[in-house]
């Protein structure tokens, strides 16, 4: 084996062991560094040792496959596992970690670059040179330590709780577009400058699972989960006690959304797998989907939260489509999160809406979500002012019976008139089977809409449901009934923008929005200049073309009414 492929194997295997070590010992830096110093054969054996643990087993097998495919001297396999066990045992058992394990990597004879902690946060010329040297000389290796320095969990306020108490549950949520392998292959021109090995699904899967696992979230929302990778991907999560909901994008698309939740902590009370594709409606003829889960705390059934995830249309020019998709998704969230009508208006459960919205901060759909209203009438398809091709006052047809306030007309009517089940569903969208009975069909309300007041000039329909309470369709403006905020501010105190993905340039397209719940921490994102100092993603640290995002929230426990 050549020196360069050997060192590459060390690099890969070392980062692979890092997965296993972190999983096995809950985020110790120590074993990883020890690992860099040992021979590859020992590294293989230490990976094999981790088969003892069910989570690493599924993961490590991929690493071993890779290591074996790169280099498989029979002598490696003859070594005694016991030797490695005692070696690692010394390392784990060591109290003074720095003496034993915190040794800088050798920077001249190997391809591993060691950077002092803090170096990445301060993007100096020196650090950039280091990264450049690591990239050009040795491929796409970057030191994970530097990545971890910027990807810290940061508290919003010093006084906020960070662990569970009798009164509060800390919900940790992670959202990650993991880059479906088929999409990577379909758009392979985007990844021409990348090290081929990091474009391998097995490698990326392991890196992605490692990062997700290290976050130790209660709820995980993934986008671009390829359907034929699903069962293999969820195996380690199932072993750790997660349950999941999966929804493939519609028609010929092969990827979809995966929502995982810890089933020892949550009960799934209700869910919707929402198809944003609606046959015969031009603005809704794309294959995007959403998942909405209503969860309660297992030890406090009255304490409930709605978690939703989506991956909206990519086409950068079609903000109008993303707005229409958002309207449908919010209508479904509204249906599931509704608690009751009060004197001051409807009451909703805490809501977390996360995913890849394929739109940039402070643009139209972002404003709609965070400000609660947006006038699309007269705007272009990108929802910017336009001279031509501008939008009419009608975004989606009123036959879908979704009001301009993102509510299902049928449900609203039933709630206000206190009759029926209050359930309605979008065409095609999946609901739990037992919930289908008693649903009203969408078409039953078309007549009702037609009977009501239509403004001949604008086509805007206004319907009074009960005295003094009316709803609108095709008014040219969308509103929604939630107070949504974004966990991320997208710009730091120095005016520098953050990013979650690279598409020609570094941009933000992934978000965590929340309503009726207090965020406590965020998984901090790098600024664009910090991103620029990273080797292109995916790389040997980040397994996707997106960075993951995360937050913790404080969920007040409801006392059950006796
Ligand atoms: O932007 V993404 O990547 O959230 O990371 O969402 C879409 C794009 C995803 C699903 O449609 O596939 C990617 N050029 C580049 N990327 C594309 C294109 C394209 N024309 N179409 C889809 N994607």
Say yes or no: 255 and 326 in one domain.
Answer: yes
Say yes or no: 464 and 480 in one domain.
Answer: no
Say yes or no: 217 and 69 in one domain.
Answer: no
**d(CA 334, ligand 1 centre) in Å:** 28
> Which is the closest atom of ligand 1 to the Cα of 546?
5
DSSP 91-157: HHH-SSHHHHT--PPPSSSSS-----TTTTTS--HHHHHHHHHHHHHHSS---HHHHHHHS-EEES-
Say yes or no: 490 and 510 in one domain.
Answer: yes
Provide the token pair at 222.
């993934």
Residue 145 — pLDDT band, cuts 50, 70, 90?
confident
Residue of the CA atom closest to atom 3 of ligand 1: 314
- Mutate-to-test residue for ligand 1 from 183, 507, 509, highest number of ligand atoms within 8 A of CB: 183
Residue of the CA atom closest to atom 12 of ligand 1: 183
**d(CA 176, ligand 1 centre) in Å:** 15
> Which is the closest atom of ligand 1 to the Cα of 190?
15
Say yes or no: 307 and 380 in one domain.
Answer: yes
Q: Is residue 558 predicted with pLDDT exceeding 90?
A: yes
**Phi-psi label, residue 448: left if phi above 0, alpha if psi -120 to 50, beta otherwise:** alpha
**d(CA 548, ligand 1 centre) in Å:** 17
Q: Which of 205, 157, 53 is nearest to 518 (CA)?
A: 157
**d(CA 356, ligand 1 centre) in Å:** 11
Residue of the CA atom closest to atom 14 of ligand 1: 187
The count of residues in the chain is: 562
Say yes or no: 482 and 458 in one domain.
Answer: no
Say yes or no: 160 and 289 in one domain.
Answer: yes
Res 448: pLDDT: 52
> Which is the closest atom of ligand 1 to the Cα of 501?
5
Task: State mean pLDDT over 327-338.
Answer: 98
Task: State mean pLDDT over 276-294.
Answer: 97
- Taking CB atoms and a 6 Å cutoff, what residues make up the pocket around ligand 1? 177, 183, 187, 314, 356, 358, 501, 503, 509, 545-546
Identify whether 65 is part of a domain.
Answer: yes
Residue 562 — pLDDT band, cuts 50, 70, 90?
low
Q: How many domains does one find in the chain?
A: 3
Identify whether 239 is part of a domain.
Answer: yes
- Mutate-to-test residue for ligand 1 from 187, 226, 325, 508, highest number of ligand atoms within 8 A of CB: 187
pTM, 2 dp: 0.76
pLDDT tens, 19-76? 333 333 333 333 332 333 333 333 333 333 333 333 434 443 343 333 333 333 333 3
Residue of the CA atom closest to atom 7 of ligand 1: 314
**d(CA 314, ligand 1 centre) in Å:** 5
Name which residue leads in pLDDT, 116 or 276. 276
Q: Using CA atoms, how far apart are residues 443 and 36, in angstroms rounded to an integer?
A: 65
> Which is the closest atom of ligand 1 to the Cα of 179?
5
Say yes or no: 424 and 531 in one domain.
Answer: no
**d(CA 93, ligand 1 centre) in Å:** 47
Lowest model confidence (mean pLDDT) among 67-81, 390-404, 544-558: 67-81
**d(CA 358, ligand 1 centre) in Å:** 9
Tokens 């094999």: give the residue.
Answer: 48
Name which residue leads in pLDDT, 303 or 195. 303
* Domain final residue pick, 438, 460, 475: 475
pLDDT tens, 357-390? 999 999 999 999 999 999 999 999 999 998 887 9
Say yes or no: 498 and 455 in one domain.
Answer: no
Res 162: pLDDT: 75
CA-angle at 311, arms to 526 and 539, nearest 5° = 40
The interaxial angle of helices 201-215 and 3-25, nearest 10 deg, is 30
Residue 146 — pLDDT band, cuts 50, 70, 90?
confident
Identify whether 562 is part of a domain.
Answer: no
Say yes or no: 541 and 486 in one domain.
Answer: yes
Q: Using CA atoms, how far apart are residues 535 and 131, in angstroms rounded to an integer?
A: 7
Look up the domain containing 168 and give its range: 153-391+476-556
SS3 at position 261: strand
**d(CA 252, ligand 1 centre) in Å:** 15
Identify whether 171 is part of a domain.
Answer: yes
Which DSSP state fits 552? E
* Domain final residue pick, 475, 505, 523: 475
Distance between start and end Cα atoms, the chain? 71
> Which is the closest atom of ligand 1 to the Cα of 313?
11
Say yes or no: 351 and 231 in one domain.
Answer: yes
CATH number of the domain that residue 533 is part of: 3.60.10.10
Tokens 């095609």: give the residue.
Answer: 428
Residue of the CA atom closest to atom 15 of ligand 1: 187
Q: Using CA atoms, how far apart are residues 525 and 153, in angstroms rounded to an integer?
A: 10
The interaxial angle of helices 54-70 and 230-239, nearest 10 deg, is 130
SS3 at position 488: coil
Identify whether 561 is part of a domain.
Answer: no
Residue 106 — pLDDT band, cuts 50, 70, 90?
very low
- Is residue 424 within 8 A of residue 335, CB to CB? The reply is yes
* Domain final residue pick, 475, 504, 519: 475
Say yes or no: 106 and 136 in one domain.
Answer: yes
Residue 163 — pLDDT band, cuts 50, 70, 90?
confident
**d(CA 316, ligand 1 centre) in Å:** 10
Identify whether 229 is part of a domain.
Answer: yes
Q: What mean pLDDT value characterizes the chain? A: 76
């Amino acid at each position: 084996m050549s020196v360069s492929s050997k060192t590459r194997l060390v690099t890969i295997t070392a980062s692979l062991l890092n997965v296993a070590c972190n999983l096995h010992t809950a985020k110790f830096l120590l074993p990883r560094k020890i690992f860099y110093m040992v021979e590859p054969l020992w590294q293989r054996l230490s990976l094999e040792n981790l088969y003892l643990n069910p989570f690493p087993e599924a993961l490590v097998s991929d690493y071993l496959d890779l290591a074996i495919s790169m280099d498989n001297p029979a002598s490696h396999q003859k070594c005694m596992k016991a030797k490695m066990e005692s070696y690692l045992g010394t390392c784990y058992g060591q109290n003074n970690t720095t003496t034993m394990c915190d040794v800088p990597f050798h920077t001249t004879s190997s391809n591993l670059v060691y950077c002092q902690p803090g170096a990445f946060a301060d993007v100096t010329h020196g650090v950039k040179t280091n990264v450049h040297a690591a990239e050009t000389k040795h491929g796409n290796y970057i030191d994970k330590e530097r990545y971890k320095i910027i990807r810290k969990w940061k508290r919003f306020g010093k006084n906020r709780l960070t662990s569970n108490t009798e009164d509060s549950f800390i919900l940790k949520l992670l959202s990650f577009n993991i880059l479906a392998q088929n999409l990577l292959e379909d758009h392979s021109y985007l990844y021409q400058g990348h090290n081929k090995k990091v474009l391998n699904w097995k490698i990326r899967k392991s890196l992605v699972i490692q990062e997700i696992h290290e976050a130790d979230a209660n709820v995980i929302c993934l986008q671009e989960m390829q359907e034929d990778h699903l069962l293999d991907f969820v195996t380690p999560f199932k072993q750790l006690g997660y349950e999941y909901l999966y929804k493939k994008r519609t028609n010929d698309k092969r990827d979809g959304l995966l929502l995982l939740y810890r089933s020892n902590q949550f009960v799934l009370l209700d869910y919707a797998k929402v198809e944003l594709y609606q046959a015969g409606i031009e603005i809704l003829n794309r294959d995007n989907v959403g998942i909405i889960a209503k969860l309660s705390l297992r030890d406090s059934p009255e304490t409930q939260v709605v978690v939703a995830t989506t991956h909206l249309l990519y086409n950068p020019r079609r903000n109008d489509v993303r707005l229409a998709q958002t309207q449908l998704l919010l209508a479904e969230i509204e249906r599931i999160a509704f608690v009751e009508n009060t004197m001051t208006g409807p009451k909703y459960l805490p809501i977390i809406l996360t995913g890849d919205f394929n739109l940039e901060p402070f643009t139209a759909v972002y404003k709609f979500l965070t400000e609660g209203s947006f006038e699309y009438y007269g705007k272009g398809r990108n929802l910017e002012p336009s001279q031509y091709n501008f939008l009419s006052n009608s975004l989606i047809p009123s036959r879908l019976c979704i009001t301009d306030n993102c509510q299902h007309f049928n449900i609203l009517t039933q709630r206000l008139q206190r009759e029926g089940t209050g359930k309605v569903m979008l065409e095609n969208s999946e609901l739990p089977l037992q919930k289908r009975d008693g649903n009203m069909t969408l078409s039953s309300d078309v007549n009702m809409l037609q009977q009501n007041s239509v403004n001949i000039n604008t086509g805007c329909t206004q319907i009074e449901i009960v005295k003094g309470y009316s709803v609108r369709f095709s008014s040219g403006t969308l509103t929604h009934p939630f107070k949504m905020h974004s966990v991320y501010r997208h710009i730091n105190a120095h005016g520098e923008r953050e990013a979650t993905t690279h598409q020609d340039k570094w941009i933000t397209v992934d978000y965590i929005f929340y309503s009726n719940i207090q965020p406590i921490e965020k998984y901090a994102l790098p600024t664009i200049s910090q991103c620029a100092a990273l080797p292109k993603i995916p790389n040997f640290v980040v397994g996707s073309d997106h960075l993951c995002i995360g937050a913790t929230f404080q969920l007040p426990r409801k006392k059950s009414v006796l």
